[in-house]
């Protein structure tokens, strides 16, 4: 078998795998979109997109007095933006300390970050519930944000620390000679040069509240405090509920803010993921 034939076979295999993965990814999305446009309540239709499709479910979610979807959407956006901003602040400060300073416990602190990622979040749910109850943050959005930010620090700090290590220390020394302090070096040198990895941290932590169901299920009790994942689950989990088409419409709309943030940060994402994963 000559080289040309081998290359052709490799291309066929590669494109076949890409097509298979595309079908696996996009078929459920198209099916959910079709359900959301079905004017009835049935989960099935003769075609992927119904012939007499309608946006009535989307209109119902935002206009019907019985729907709390707009409240859930506002709650989720608030939690997502607050988590993303606070996570970036605490993660970058922690990573900067571990990257630039030498102190007692630094080595074991890095090991602790790695070990903490080995345990599933479910192991800490009882402790989280008790802690939030004791500090009066149970059934509050700020309690949920606190847990998200705390959980984001270990792995993300290790990732950002690896990126900070690639920034030459000579820049710090030059700034110190010009009279710059630690915070000025951090804000004027480190952060601008670390925009790619910061974009990765911001996006991942922005997405988490939209996707997570378990933690809001434990922390939140009132319907007016629900996030989208929890609210939509309860929409179809009630006895005799038959709102799967509305559930599909609500699920499709979750992708809008994530897509907007992704498009806004995409210029930094690829380089940030590559650098953070290969250098440490």
Q: Where are the alpha helices (DSSP H) in the chain?
A: 3-36, 56-63, 69-100, 106-116, 125-134, 141-164, 169-177, 182-185, 191-193, 195-211, 214-219, 228-237, 244-278
Instruction: Locate 227 and state its tokens.
Output: 């996030």
CA distance 244 to 153: 36
Q: Check whether 227 has a pLDDT greater than 80.
A: yes
Q: In the block, which residue shows the tokens 């609500």?
A: 250
Q: What is the pLDDT of residue 125?
A: 85
Residue 1's pLDDT is 61
Alpha-carbon span 167 to 95, nearest angstrom: 13
Q: What is the mean pLDDT of residues 63-77?
A: 90
* Residues 139-160: tens digit of each pLDDT: 999 999 999 998 888 888 888 9
Spatial distance between the Cα atoms of 107 and 114, rounded to a whole number of angstroms: 11
pLDDT of 87: 95
Average pLDDT over residues 240-264: 84
Main-chain dihedrals φ then ψ at residue 260, nearest 5 degrees: -65, -45
> How high is the pLDDT of residue 5?
81
**105-119, 128-142, 143-157: range with lowest mean pLDDT:** 105-119
Average confidence (pLDDT) over 42-66: 78
Closest residue by Cα to residue 50 from 36, 61, 62: 36
Q: Which of 99-108, 193-202, 239-248 has the highest mean predicted lDDT (pLDDT)?
A: 193-202
- Residue 40 clears pLDDT 80, i.e. is over it: no
pLDDT at 233: 87
CA distances from 199 to 22, 85, 124, 276 (A): 26, 11, 28, 11
Residue found by looking up tokens 């920034």 in the block: 167
Per-residue pLDDT band at 279 (split at 50, 70, 90): very low
Interior CA angle at 134 toward 131 and 155, to 5°? 20
Q: What percent of the chain has pLDDT over 70?
A: 91
- Given phi > 0 = left and psi -120 to 50 = alpha, else beta, which region is 50? beta
132 CB burial (10 A radius; 0-12, 13-18, 19+): buried
Highest mean pLDDT among 106-110, 172-176, 224-228: 224-228
Question: Domains (ranges, CATH) in the chain?
Answer: 3-54 (no CATH), 65-278 (1.10.3720.10)
Mean pLDDT of the chain: 84
Higher per-residue confidence, 239 vs 148: 148
CA 229 – CA 199 distance, rounded (Å):
24
Q: What is the pLDDT of residue 43?
A: 66
Residue range 77-89: mean pLDDT, rounded: 95
φ/ψ (deg, to 5) at 118 = -80, -15
| CA 146/CA 144 separation, integer angstroms | 5
Average the pLDDT over each of 39-53, 90-104, 215-229 and give the range with the smallest value: 39-53
Asked if 257 and 80 touch (Cβ cutoff 8 Å), the reply is yes
- How many C-beta atoms lie closer than 10 Å to residue 78's C-beta? 16
pLDDT at residue 142, as a whole number: 95
Q: Look up the pTM and report it.
A: 0.84
Q: What pLDDT, in 10s, does the model give residues 155-178? A: 888 889 888 888 888 888 888 888
The whole-number pLDDT of residue 239 equals: 47
pLDDT at 86: 96
Highest mean pLDDT among 22-31, 35-44, 78-87: 78-87
């Amino acid at each position: 078998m000559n080289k040309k034939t081998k290359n052709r076979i490799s291309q066929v295999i590669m494109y076949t795998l890409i097509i298979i993965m595309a079908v696996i990814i996009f078929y459920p999305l198209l099916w959910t979109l079709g359900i959301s446009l079905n004017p009835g309540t049935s989960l099935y239709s003769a075609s992927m997109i119904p012939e007499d499709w309608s946006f009535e479910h989307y209109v119902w979610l935002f206009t019907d007095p019985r729907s709390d979807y707009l409240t859930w959407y506002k709650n989720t956006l608030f939690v997502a933006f607050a988590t993303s901003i606070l996570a970036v602040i605490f993660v970058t400060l922690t990573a900067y300390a571990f990257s630039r300073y030498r102190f007692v416990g630094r080595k074991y602190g890095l090991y602790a970050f790695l070990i903490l990622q080995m345990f599933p979040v479910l192991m800490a749910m009882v402790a989280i519930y008790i802690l939030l109850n004791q500090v009066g943050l149970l059934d509050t959005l700020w309690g949920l944000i606190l847990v998200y930010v705390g959980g984001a620090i270990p792995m993300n700090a290790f990732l950002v620390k690896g990126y900070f290590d690639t920034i030459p220390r000579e820049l710090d020394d030059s700034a110190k000679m010009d009279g710059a302090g630690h915070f000025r070096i951090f804000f004027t040198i480190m952060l601008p040069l670390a925009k790619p990895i910061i974009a990765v941290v911001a996006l991942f932590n922005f997405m988490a509240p939209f996707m997570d169901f378990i933690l809001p299920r434990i922390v939140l009790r009132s319907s007016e405090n629900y996030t989208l994942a929890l609210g939509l689950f309860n929409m179809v989990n009630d006895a005799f509920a038959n709102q799967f088409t509305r559930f599909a419409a609500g699920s499709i709309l979750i992708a809008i803010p994530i897509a907007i943030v992704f498009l806004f940060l995409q210029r930094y994402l690829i380089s940030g993921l590559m650098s953070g994963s290969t250098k440490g």
